[in-house]
């Protein structure tokens, strides 16, 4: 028999615990072994039986979720999925939770929580299953760190058919895609990039309202300027543009300059933003001038686009299994021949810099 995923639900709301348990228990591959109304009770119950995955609220009595998460990751790490109300006030705190080791985040509204959880059952179950595959490691205390399946064609079909990558230009761009585990991976990669690095475009699977704060966090630790992309932004050396949550990010070219489109659209590979949308636009408009890497994450988003970049003459890489939190997206890219090489996390920045060194001069 296939082993079921043991889940503990930690939330101070009895209603959330009840509905979350019902939704998770509806999947035969998941068993909710216990519930807890705060971290203190959770620790007592974990002493009797350890879950494979934990769902965790942030605002709770006796000990807040962030403090508990850091304690878990430094003492007895396990995959944690944050389930928290989205407000402007706690967005920074929730991003901190992701950087502290949470593998995913489920956003719940301040009101209508019961109906939201019931309607988002596919998203929630997928998140738990992805988390169960995550490889989490012990961290030092205080470490900062309706289903749709569309092809990226739905976002690229409006591009002019005679718009192709301009191979003569010396301007290079770097494209990076990541999902589960990507917040910490991106932090390490961007921290290693010097200020004169060619322009970087990033898609990190993340809900709306979180990407602004996450970009701000990355900007604090990077020598490059990091910010959330705005429609029409020009991409240049020393700048990192992060796809906004809930929007697709595409690379375009206007004469000798790169710029970006930030647009609405359907989910692609279950995601918006989608890595495939970014990568395929990079293949079309930058081609041989692209260096790209697909990093840790669940599923296959980005594999098709990475293959198109490689076929267009760009340099393509994927994160290796040992350093990936979830070796799903990189594995799929490797299977399809989209990545020319698998790289350990610490080797990604040096390789992207090496393959784009021709554009190391500032504009």
Strand order across the beta sheet in which 234-235 lies:
234-235, 257-263, 248-254
Q: Which residues of the chain have pLDDT under 50?
A: 1, 87-88, 143-149, 158, 160-169, 359-363
pLDDT value for 229: 97
Q: Is 175 left (phi over 0), alpha (psi -120 to 50) or beta?
A: beta
Residues 101 and 181 in one domain: no
149 falls within a domain: no
Listed in sequence order, the residues at least 6 apart from 354 whose beta carbon sits closer than 8 Å to its beta carbon are none
Residues 70 and 168 in one domain: no
User: What's the total number of domains in the chain?
Assistant: 2
Provide Rg for the chain, Cα atoms: 20
- In the block, residue with structure tokens 């989608």: 274
Strand order across the beta sheet in which 290-294 lies:
225-228, 239-242, 200-204, 173-178, 290-294, 315-319, 341-343
Residues 78 and 182 in one domain: no
142 falls within a domain: no
138 falls within a domain: no
141 falls within a domain: no
pLDDT value for 331: 96
- Torsion over CA: 173, 178, 183, 188 (sign): negative
pLDDT value for 148: 43
pLDDT value for 276: 97
Task: Please tell me the distance from the alpha carbon of residue 345 to that of residue 216, in angstroms, as a whole number.
Answer: 22
Residues 238 and 353 in one domain: yes
Show the tokens assigned to 57: 């609220």
204 falls within a domain: yes
Show the tokens assigned to 288: 């041989």
pLDDT value for 313: 95
Task: Please tell me the distance from the alpha carbon of residue 50 to that of residue 137, in angstroms, as a whole number.
Answer: 16
* CA 147 to chain centroid: 19
pTM given for the model? 0.77
- What CATH number should be reported for the domain holding residue 104? 3.40.50.2300
140 falls within a domain: no
Residues 99 and 184 in one domain: no
49 falls within a domain: yes
Show the tokens assigned to 167: 């191979």
Over the stretch 240-289, which tens digit does the pLDDT of each residue have? 999 999 999 999 998 778 999 999 989 898 889 999 999 999 999 999 99
pLDDT value for 39: 93
Residues 42 and 95 in one domain: yes
Residues 123 and 174 in one domain: no
Q: How far is CA 333 from CA 266, 287, 297, in A?
A: 23, 18, 11
Domain endpoint, select from 132, 162, 195: 132
Residues 123 and 212 in one domain: no
Residues 348 and 260 in one domain: yes
Residues 209 and 348 in one domain: yes
246 in Cβ contact with 219 (< 8 Å): no
Residues 336 and 287 in one domain: yes
Could you give the residue numbers annotated as active site? Answer: 179, 205, 301
HEC states along the chain? CCCCEEEEEECCCHHHHHHHHHHHHCCCCEEEEEEECCHHHHHHHHCCCCCCEEEECCCCCCCCHHHHHHHHHHHCCCCEEEEEECCCCCHHHHHHHHHHCCCEEEEECCCCHHHHHHHCHHHHHHHHHHHHCCCCCCCCCCCCCCCCCECCHHHHCCCCCCCCCCCCCCCCEEEEEECCCHHHHHHHHHHCCCCCCCCEEEEECCCCCCHHHHHHHHHHHCCCEEEECCCCCEECCCEEEECCCCCEEEEEEECCEEEEEEECCCCECCECCCHHHHHHHHHHHCHHHEEEEECCECCCCCHHHHHHHHHCCCEEEEECCCCCCCECHHHHHHHCCCCCEEECHHHHHHHHHHHCHHHCCCC
- What CATH number should be reported for the domain holding residue 247? 3.40.50.180
Of 85, 83, 56, whose CA–CA distance to 71 is shortest?
Answer: 56
Domain endpoint, select from 69, 101, 132: 132
Domain that holds residue 295: 154-358
Residues 166 and 293 in one domain: yes
pLDDT value for 143: 47
Over the stretch 95-131, which tens digit does the pLDDT of each residue have? 777 777 888 888 777 667 778 787 788 888 988 998 8
137 falls within a domain: no
Q: Is 343 left (phi over 0), alpha (psi -120 to 50) or beta?
A: beta
């Amino acid at each position: 028999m296939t082993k079921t995923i043991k889940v503990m639900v930690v939330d101070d709301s009895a209603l959330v615990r009840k509905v979350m348990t019902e939704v998770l228990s509806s999947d035969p591959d998941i068993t909710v072994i216990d519930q807890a109304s705060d971290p203190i009770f959770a620790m007592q119950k974990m002493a009797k039986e350890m879950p494979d995955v934990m769902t965790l609220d942030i605002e709770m009595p006796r000990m807040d979720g962030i403090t508990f998460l850091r304690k878990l990751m430094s003492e007895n790490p396990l995959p944690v999925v944050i389930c928290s109300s989205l407000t402007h006030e706690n967005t920074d705190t929730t991003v901190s939770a992701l950087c502290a080791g949470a593998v995913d985040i489920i956003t719940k509204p301040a009101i209508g929580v019961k109906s939201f959880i019931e309607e988002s059952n596919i998203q929630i179950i997928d998140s738990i299953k992805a988390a169960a595959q995550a490889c989490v490691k012990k961290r030092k205390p205080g470490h900062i760190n309706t289903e749709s399946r569309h092809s990226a064609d739905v976002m690229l079909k409006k591009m002019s058919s005679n718009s192709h990558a301009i191979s003569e230009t010396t301007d290079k761009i770097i494209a990076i895609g990541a999902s589960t585990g990507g917040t910490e991976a991106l932090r390490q990669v961007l921290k290693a990039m010097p200020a004169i690095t060619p322009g970087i475009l990033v898609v990190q699977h993340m809900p709306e309202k979180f990407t602004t704060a996450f970009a701000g966090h990355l900007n604090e630790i990077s020598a490059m300027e990091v910010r959330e992309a705005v429609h029409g932004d020009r991409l240049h050396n020393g700048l990192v543009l992060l796809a906004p949550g809930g929007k697709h990010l595409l690379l375009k070219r206007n004469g000798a300059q790169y710029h970006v489109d930030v647009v609405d659209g359907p989910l692609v590979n279950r995601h918006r933003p989608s890595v495939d949308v970014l990568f395929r636009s990079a293949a079309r408009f930058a081609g041989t001038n692209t260096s790209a890497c697909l990093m840790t994450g669940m599923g296959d988003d980005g594999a098709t686009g990475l293959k198109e970049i490689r076929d267009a003459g760009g340099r393509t890489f994927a994160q290796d299994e040992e350093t990936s939190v979830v070796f799903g997206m990189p594995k799929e890219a490797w299977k399809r021949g989209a990545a020319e090489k698998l790289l350990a996390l610490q080797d990604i920045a040096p390789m992207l810099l090496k393959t784009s060194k021709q554009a190391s001069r500032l504009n």
